[in-house]
Structure 1
Amino acid sequence: MAASPPTVVPSSDPALRRALVVVLDGVGCGAAPDTDAYGDTGSDTLGNVARAVGGVALPNLGRLGLGNATAVQGVPPAAHPVGGYGVMLPRSSGKDSTTGHWEIAGLHLDRPFPTYPQGFPPEVIDAFAQATGRPVIANTVASGTAVIAAYAEEQQRTGAWIVYTSADSVFQVAAHEAWIPLDELYRACELARHQLVAPHDVSRVIARPFTGTPGAWTRTANRRDYSIQPPGTTLLDVLEAAGVPRAGVGKVDDLFAGRGIQSRHTHDNAEGVEAIHRWLDTASRGFCFANLVDFDQQYGHRNDVPGFAGALEAFDRALPSLLAALREDDLLFITADHGNDPTTPSTDHARERVPLLVAGARVRGGALGTRETFSDLGATVADWFGQSWRGHGCSFLPELFHT
């Protein structure tokens, strides 16, 4: 793809600018053109959650233009939105966090990562057991809490790994912290990451430690994700080559296998917002890529509709303080990576379009339309930093400013 020249925007030195992308994990906003092909007919995470609880109170997102971009009960269209607003369509194959974040960063996949609705084949399980020196139990599709409840006592008796997956492309390994040391669990997951190559090149290997006793098992905050390496150049690579500082919040560095970014790992949305504040308060320039995971991990995967709605409202209450911390030459982008509609029978991700909101002191309020790929966001960030773009996507930076 030919490089596009950077856009000329008013004043300021691109080297001194800041940009912040906040991904509300799993907060899709309705059907994409190919939603039915993924088995997700009827999914509309944001719209369905709002309807299910009789409307959500999101006045600050509303002022940016959320209700103008997509229908959300309780969030009417703003007469004069102060942000840029629109929606983005997924173009990459798949509907998981890795695929979504990679697409935001300009990288598309031609095929989805492999999934295992019947569990992993014997050659995968046998190789993992042999490499780690422990047997494997479960090897099933299940939620994390359910699989631990079913197999924890067997793990205590046998010392075996609890291996499971979901509708997503993940190889998850659960282990009680008192029975199998954390370091051993992490080493086992690193071994699995090295072993899982094509055709079994799953998106992520996930360490899932837990504690507790029968009837009271609890997953701990010591989760770690081991992602496959991005197979091409991403926005993070472009910014790194240009000397633009990059910081992550949440699991972002895991999703990019640590390439081009390091993250402050967080336990929940509140800690994620705190980490974003810390970056806004201390970073003199550069790019922050943040993931707020509670929508997906705590509520979407558990079909917890009230919890999901409450998390949306909590983020909205936190938003004014983030906006107040923006400097004149800052851009804040709010979006998502896929859907995870807790109102549907499925407990897994959904193929959905995602919201796009942009805030900043110099941003004009107005429609950004329907973007043909999440990658338009990555192209715009590169443009903001004065960098030519060779990835997928087209910058909408000129549409953000008054001419």
Structure 2
Amino acid sequence: MKAFRRVVLIVLDGVGIGALPDAAAYGDAGANTLRHVAEAVGGLTLPHLCRLGLGRVIDFPGASQQAFVAGAAGRMAERAAGKDSTAGHWELMGVILDRPLPTFPEGFPPAIIEAFEAQTGLKVLGNVAASGTEIIDRLGEEHMRTGRPIVYTSVDSVFQVAAHEEVIPVDRLYELCRTARRILDPWRVGRVIARPFVGDPEHGFRRTARRHDFSLAPVGTTVLDRLAEKRVAVCGIGKIGDLYAGRGLSEQQATASNAEGMERILAAIGRLDSGVIFANLVDFDMLWGHRLDAAGFAAGLEAFDRWLGELFAVLEEDDLLMITADHGCDPTTPSTDHSREYVPLLCWHAGMRGRVDLGLRGSFADVGATLAEAMGVESPCGESFLVSLFTD
């Protein structure tokens, strides 16, 4: 087995491929993000993904098994409890949660809100579970009049603080969120999210790109920590830095869209001689899954597939490409929640000449174990499939 100089790991946020056996316990029986998106638009054209074997692990309108030219393909089940981005990403790097991070469908308890108000000196608005766009439309005018920040949550383990940039400047909003992060650490809340917005009641409000996540640090040792110990460069792109609270990353690059994320992946390949490029493409989840936009989801998948042609053109002989997801987010169901699903696992390197069946992996942690072996470090858990990538 040859060593790899670089590993490019891309997480397609929310691109699930079928309900897990316990999906009904999460209200997700029958979920199948990719297949349902394809059905909603009359078929998907994904030649590069199918070339790697996507059509072998999930049958969907437009898939062509004959397009499986060379690559390794399988699917993975999540071992962790829950179905949020934090749990999924942590498991990818070897930290498996035995219980879900807490959610607050009825709003946050008085102990949290009272502590936040006492430490910030500000009374809050909201404290409900709501859509981020809906709640600023509903409470934006009152917020502008009173200066009170809007606090809300969602189906995820998140404490979100929305504020108009002209009422509470962004730097001040970040300070409020750091305060909330300290309060919420003992509660194991996954993320505190700053949600700045602009606009006015007459012309409408819109969120800006200056969102920032303040995450709970991983509760165990991750593959990223092991890479950092060995001084292996790891470039986190998108919300990777947020999800791991910056731990194990030598650099972090926030992005405003899938398109920007893909641009930054190519730039990092051109710049980094060795190490790991770890990217999350969030639009599938944030823009299309949660907003029940199957057409947008489909267009995003096809745009990513077209971009893969550019990626293949710059990958070198000792680069390993891995593509997966962290959960589902089926936009064809009534729920705007994530869905508990299998995720795809696609791998490729320039030396591959045949088709490799990676089968059903029992944990997302197998990705981290494989990454660790490829980079010469120990993995906290998981079963590496690196040797399989060299089998014709």
Query: TM-score normalised by the shorter chain: which range applies?
Result: over 0.9
Contact 2:14–2:289 (CA under 8 A) maintained in structure 1: yes
Query: Which residue in 2 is equivalent to 1:207?
Result: 194
Distance in 1, Cα, partners of 2:190 & 2:66? 39
Secondary structure, counterpart of 1:206 in structure 2: strand
Secondary structure, counterpart of 1:271 in structure 2: helix
Query: Which residue in 2 is equivalent to 1:295?
Result: 284
Pair 1:121-2:112 in alignment = no
Contact 2:47–2:67 (CA under 8 A) maintained in structure 1: no
Q: CA deviation at 1:228?
A: 0.3
Q: Deviations over 1:272-305 (max 9, x none)?
A: 0000000111110001110001000111110011
Paired letter, 1:312: L
Q: Deviations over 1:180-222 (max 9, x none)?
A: 1111100000000000033x22100000000011142110000
Pair 1:105-2:105 in alignment = no
Query: Which residue in 1 is equivalent to 2:315?
Result: 326
Alignment of 1:2-401 (within 5 A): 9-10=1-2, 12=3, 17-78=5-66, 80-198=68-186, 200-214=187-201, 215-261=203-249, 262-363=251-352, 364-389=354-379, 391-401=380-390
The alignment covers a number of residue pairs equal to 389
Distance in 2, Cα, partners of 1:313 & 1:388? 36
Q: CA deviation at 1:306?
A: 0.5
Q: CA deviation at 1:365?
A: 2.3
Q: CA deviation at 1:27?
A: 0.5
CA RMSD, aligned part only? 1.1
Q: Percent identity?
A: 54
Paired letter, 2:109: P
Superposition TM-score, scaled by structure 1 size: 0.95
Q: CA deviation at 1:392?
A: 2.1
Contact 1:237–1:260 (CA under 8 A) maintained in structure 2: yes
Paired letter, 1:205: V
Q: Where in structure 1 are there 5+ consecutive unaligned residues?
A: 1-8
Q: CA deviation at 1:79?
A: 5.5
Q: CA deviation at 1:80?
A: 4.2
Contact 1:81–1:366 (CA under 8 A) maintained in structure 2: no
Secondary structure, counterpart of 2:126 in structure 1: strand
Distance in 2, Cα, partners of 1:268 & 1:252? 14
Q: CA deviation at 1:334?
A: 0.5
Q: Where in structure 2 are there 5+ consecutive unaligned residues?
A: none
Moved more, 325-334 or 213-222: 213-222
Q: CA deviation at 1:81?
A: 2.9
Q: CA deviation at 1:150?
A: 0.4
Paired letter, 1:40: D
Secondary structure, counterpart of 2:310 in structure 1: helix
Contact 1:300–1:340 (CA under 8 A) maintained in structure 2: yes
Secondary structure, counterpart of 1:78 in structure 2: helix
Paired letter, 1:316: D
Q: Deviations over 1:34-69 (max 9, x none)?
A: 111111112111111111111111111111110011
Q: CA deviation at 1:78?
A: 2.9
Contact 1:136–1:161 (CA under 8 A) maintained in structure 2: yes
Question: Cα 1:226–1:179, aligned 2, differ >3 Å: closer, same or farther?
Answer: same
Contact 2:14–2:338 (CA under 8 A) maintained in structure 1: yes
